Structure 1
Amino acid sequence: MNIKHDLALKMGKLTLATLKLFNRTGTALPGKVALTIDKSFLEVINQKCDKIILVTGTNGKTTTNNLINHVLSDYNLLSNLRGANMRQGVASTYIRNTQESYDYGLFEVDEGSLDFVSSYLKADYIILTNFFRDQLDRYGEIESIINEVMEDIKLLPDSKLIINCDDPYVNQFKYKLDNEVIRFGLDIISDYSERNLILKKCPLCGCKLEYSKFNYGHLGNYNCPKCEFNNNTKEYCVNSIIQNDSSQTITINHSDKDYTIEYPYVGLYNAYNLCGVFALANELKLDINKTIEQMENFTFSLGRMEEFNYKNKTIKVILTKNPVGLSQVTRIISHDDRTKSIVHILNDNPADGRDISWIWDANTSCTNDNTVTNYYCSGIRAEDMALKKKYDDVNTDKIHINDNMYNTINTAIEDDVEIVYVLPTYTAIFETRDYISKIVKR
């Protein structure tokens, strides 16, 4: 019997019960209390799980984690589904769902928390999604966090890595670590013209990378002419994407065989998420037909491409938290020719990052501006977003500023349009979706 652990668990559960009295979810505080009492509190999770899967990277962690959870729904899982991905969030997950054993421990882990979490959870598999600039005031420059993640994984030589090799920052792990590595990526015809490149040099030798294709940001097909660093080989490769209004038909090739999936979410970043999860499922030797079936009926309710129906229109909530993510959402909106209004909710709370200069690195100019009725700018930094829209050469008559997000949402959803896009940053995402949920249920 571990007295310290038992006390930590009891106090964590007491904290959770108290929070529930005030209608709070308790995704972090119970774990924080437990870890204060017992720093090694997470060790028990490692002991109780047959397999441990960690998901880390800048974008796509929560969607990937939830999709894996759906694919593994026949198993007994312990997982942090609501995106609480720091050490206290992982601990709170166990406090909320304490059992004697689990088939899988599945956790998305913030890049900055991987060192602590991985020191107790010895992962069998680690999925690396991508690395982009994100919250510079918290993480610092991107190279710093990548080096930290690499050092963390060096201490887990038995972990199998499933990596997005279209990102050179991620692909270097194949060359610099001794872990077994499975690579996934895209090989499709791309119409992407904007090159928001933060990575121009080979991460191995420093020579300028040569790209034959960009998918988005610095993701694409590339090679180094000096040291032959490249992503030509992908064990799992998306070779076809057919975009529909609210879904996409994705074909993944593995071992010279194609698998077609009707995936209910659009966007290239969702194709990457899907391919990574498909790779994991196959490496776990799951029934591939059941995996595809689960992928095709996947639904997600945490503000990542989440749709609501209201008065003959669609309300779509999409988290936007860094330049590449916002640029990709703008790209999706630009391919949607329905009449629309767009709501930007920009906060600068600590969890968002105090420095909101990142919006100026994002492409927020809709190429189909003629289909946009109004742009609403809300949140703590509403004026900053309005200024960004002005520099996008948007007609100022279309730009509306109100720092109260509830009033803004109330106004926007009454517009005579077919779809309203609501784009909150991280600290607004849960309040936004919960508020819209209440409205549509009235």
Structure 2
Amino acid sequence: MSFKSGFATSLGKSSYWFLHNVLKGGTSFPGKMAMKVDPDVLKSLSRGYETIIVTGTNGKTMTTALIVNALKQKYGDVLTNPSGSNMQQGIVTAFLAHGKNRAKRKIAVLEVDEANVKMVTQLLHPKAFVLTNIFRDQMDRYGEIYTTYEKIVDGIKLQPDATIIANGDASIFSSVDLPNPKVFFGFDLGAKPENDLKAPVNTDGVLCPKCDHVLHYHERIYANLGNFFCPNCGYHRPKLTYTVNSIDKQTPNEIAFHMGTKGYHINIGGTYNIYNALAAYAVAREFGLSDDEVAAAFKANKRVFGRQELINYRGKEIDLILVKNPVGLDEVLHMLNTEQDDFSLVTLLNANHADGIDTSWIWDADYESLNPQQIKKVLVGGQRWHDMAFRLEIAGFDNGAMLINPDYDSLIEEIGKLPTKKVYILSTYTAMLALRKKMAEKKIIKAGM
């Protein structure tokens, strides 16, 4: 390590200690400090690590957490960025925060923002790339899905020996000819090969990446994901190495499913989380874990920061769920439709840079699928509460019965007064951070992640 890198590391570690022991927070500032002294400090910090990069539109944080929990079963200490701070400065902070790694096999599992894959890959030379999905998300930052994938590919091309572990049900991930070793995962629920299905007309990403014809499906799981084929040019889903073979149980708080010949269980809901578990399973198997070790890791998995995070407050069972784009929101709404009990709904909408400044995406999600009779109270907040309230009114909810409360202190008080035991909070990123900060100040949850 050079003098410059050593000084940058010492400065970053000192600032991290101060922020977390005195100010009780800070997920990216120590990384920023270190990078000001040495912009390439990540190269020194990551030396000796086998690095796994997890990227894609949805599911990065949960997939990363599941991979880490699985690899810990075999290798013990695993470095990661659990806060979801997934740009370069947050990744540098993750290395600064990690103590001395005495594991025989030093592994880092890093969630990386799609637009940051190239700059991160230039410095730490990953062993594997895990690709979850590509959906339309924050058009002001990423552009169309093909632009987003191009950003990821630009990073992968810098490391042609790294293994690509990708969602084979996403047609875009097998569309570019790359020299890397490839492993694909996906759903195989026993659909008949003669099935010829189309996605709904408003679904993004269903044009063939080879010839622009509309893709068909032998089996469609959700959005543009499934066993796709092009009737025009013959492009089709690649051969899968790891598969989900059945879904045995689904509630908002539990999923049971089969991969290969073994059943698995995770304490979290949503079909999209089965994909996250499948991605983690694929990585774990590629890194030498047995089915039993993976099953034990999944069983012990805890909910993570802001991703169906379970909070107990005044006798309420509160699920805090991050929503950020139409596909992810739609899947969360579908998950809520598996709830058997009455519940209250809290929706928080912000439009800061980290959320995406265009809120029109809420009109592409199927709020109309919710049952207003089952939802006993609706509480709306966030900077753009008026947009959300209007969207719910159009979906059939009584505007006069909604509680509008953009102030987080009084919002938390209102949550405690809601008429149901179960409460679901659907929140954009910066609103979720603000709500958690207030809850930590009130000692409802612990500060930090």
TM-score after normalising by structure 1: 0.92
Q: Write the letter of the residue equivalent to 2:141.
A: R
Corresponding residue number in structure 1 for 2:32: 32
Contact 1:80 1:93 in 2 (8 A): yes
Instruction: Using the TM superposition, name which of 97-106 and 227-236 deviates more.
Output: 97-106
Give the alignment partner of residue 287 of structure 1, picking from 290, 300, 306: 290
Equivalent-residue separation in structure 1 for 2:429 and 2:303 (angstroms): 16
Corresponding residue number in structure 2 for 1:97: 98
Equivalent-residue separation in structure 1 for 2:132 and 2:33 (angstroms): 30
Where 1:241 maps in the other structure, the secondary structure is strand
1:376 aligns with 2:376: no
Corresponding residue number in structure 2 for 1:170: 173
Corresponding residue number in structure 1 for 2:46: 46
1:430 aligns with 2:437: no
Q: Write the letter of the residue equivalent to 1:213.
A: E
Contact 1:424 1:432 in 2 (8 A): no
Contact 1:303 1:319 in 2 (8 A): yes
Contact 2:348 2:428 in 1 (8 A): yes
Give the alignment partner of residue 247 of structure 1, picking from 254, 272, 291: 254
1:340-388 deviation line (CA, Å, top 9, x unaligned): 1111111111111111121122222243221001221101111111111
Where 1:369 maps in the other structure, the secondary structure is coil
Where 1:316 maps in the other structure, the secondary structure is strand
Distance change >3 Å, CA 36–CA 281, structure 1 → 2: same
**How far does residue 307 in structure 1 lie from its aligned partner after superposition?**
1.6
**How far does residue 43 in structure 1 lie from its aligned partner after superposition?**
0.7
Equivalent-residue separation in structure 2 for 1:217 and 1:423 (angstroms): 20
Q: Write the letter of the residue equivalent to 1:39.
A: P
1:134-184 deviation line (CA, Å, top 9, x unaligned): 1111122222121121122112111111111111122324xx211111111
Matching of residues 144-155 of structure 1 within 5 Å: 144-155=147-158
Q: Write the letter of the residue equivalent to 1:354.
A: I
Contact 2:306 2:432 in 1 (8 A): yes
**How far does residue 195 in structure 1 lie from its aligned partner after superposition?**
6.0
Distance change >3 Å, CA 31–CA 141, structure 1 → 2: same
Equivalent-residue separation in structure 2 for 1:384 and 1:192 (angstroms): 32
1:233 aligns with 2:236: no
Corresponding residue number in structure 2 for 1:182: 183
Corresponding residue number in structure 2 for 1:69: 68
Contact 1:55 1:129 in 2 (8 A): yes
Equivalent-residue separation in structure 1 for 2:86 and 2:161 (angstroms): 23
Instruction: Using the TM superposition, name which of 412-421 and 190-199 deviates more.
Output: 190-199
Q: Write the letter of the residue equivalent to 2:32.
A: K
Where 2:218 maps in the other structure, the secondary structure is strand
Where 2:425 maps in the other structure, the secondary structure is strand
Where 2:417 maps in the other structure, the secondary structure is coil
Percent identical residues = 33
User: Whose RCO is larger (CA < 8 A, sep 6+)?
Assistant: 2
Q: Write the letter of the residue equivalent to 1:91.
A: V
**How far does residue 299 in structure 1 lie from its aligned partner after superposition?**
0.5
**How far does residue 250 in structure 1 lie from its aligned partner after superposition?**
1.0
Equivalent-residue separation in structure 2 for 1:215 and 1:433 (angstroms): 33
Corresponding residue number in structure 2 for 1:16: 16
Contact 2:389 2:399 in 1 (8 A): no
Corresponding residue number in structure 2 for 1:415: 418
Equivalent-residue separation in structure 2 for 1:439 and 1:345 (angstroms): 21
**How far does residue 434 in structure 1 lie from its aligned partner after superposition?**
5.1
Matching of residues 103-142 of structure 1 within 5 Å: 103-142=106-145
Q: Write the letter of the residue equivalent to 1:61.
A: K
Contact 1:43 1:120 in 2 (8 A): yes
Contact 2:137 2:325 in 1 (8 A): yes
Give the alignment partner of residue 223 of structure 1, picking from 222, 225, 229: 229
Equivalent-residue separation in structure 1 for 2:272 and 2:384 (angstroms): 27
**How far does residue 402 in structure 1 lie from its aligned partner after superposition?**
1.6
Q: Write the letter of the residue equivalent to 2:94.
A: T
Distance change >3 Å, CA 100–CA 389, structure 1 → 2: closer
1:269 aligns with 2:272: yes
Give the alignment partner of residue 301 of structure 2, picking from 288, 292, 298: 298
Equivalent-residue separation in structure 1 for 2:334 and 2:3 (angstroms): 54
1:91-136 deviation line (CA, Å, top 9, x unaligned): 0111112536661011010001111000111111110000111111
Equivalent-residue separation in structure 2 for 1:229 and 1:318 (angstroms): 36
Equivalent-residue separation in structure 2 for 1:189 and 1:206 (angstroms): 28
Instruction: Using the TM superposition, name which of 364-373 and 160-169 deviates more.
Output: 364-373
**How far does residue 440 in structure 1 lie from its aligned partner after superposition?**
4.7
Distance change >3 Å, CA 418–CA 366, structure 1 → 2: farther
Equivalent-residue separation in structure 2 for 1:164 and 1:66 (angstroms): 17
Equivalent-residue separation in structure 2 for 1:410 and 1:234 (angstroms): 49
Q: Write the letter of the residue equivalent to 2:136.
A: R
Where 1:307 maps in the other structure, the secondary structure is strand
1:367 aligns with 2:370: yes
**How far does residue 204 in structure 1 lie from its aligned partner after superposition?**
1.6
Instruction: Return 5+ residue gaps in structure 1 as ranges.
Output: none
Aligned length: 435
Equivalent-residue separation in structure 1 for 2:378 and 2:170 (angstroms): 32
Q: Write the letter of the residue equivalent to 1:411.
A: E
Structure 1 stretches (4+) deviating beyond 4 angstroms?
189-196, 434-442
**How far does residue 192 in structure 1 lie from its aligned partner after superposition?**
12
Contact 2:436 2:445 in 1 (8 A): no
1:84 aligns with 2:91: no
Where 2:310 maps in the other structure, the secondary structure is strand
**How far does residue 232 in structure 1 lie from its aligned partner after superposition?**
5.8
Distance change >3 Å, CA 196–CA 212, structure 1 → 2: farther
Contact 1:192 1:216 in 2 (8 A): no
Contact 2:199 2:224 in 1 (8 A): no
Corresponding residue number in structure 2 for 1:353: 356
Q: Write the letter of the residue equivalent to 1:53.
A: I
Equivalent-residue separation in structure 2 for 1:205 and 1:192 (angstroms): 17
**How far does residue 241 in structure 1 lie from its aligned partner after superposition?**
0.8
1:57 aligns with 2:64: no
Corresponding residue number in structure 1 for 2:6: 6
Where 1:36 maps in the other structure, the secondary structure is helix
Equivalent-residue separation in structure 2 for 1:21 and 1:281 (angstroms): 34
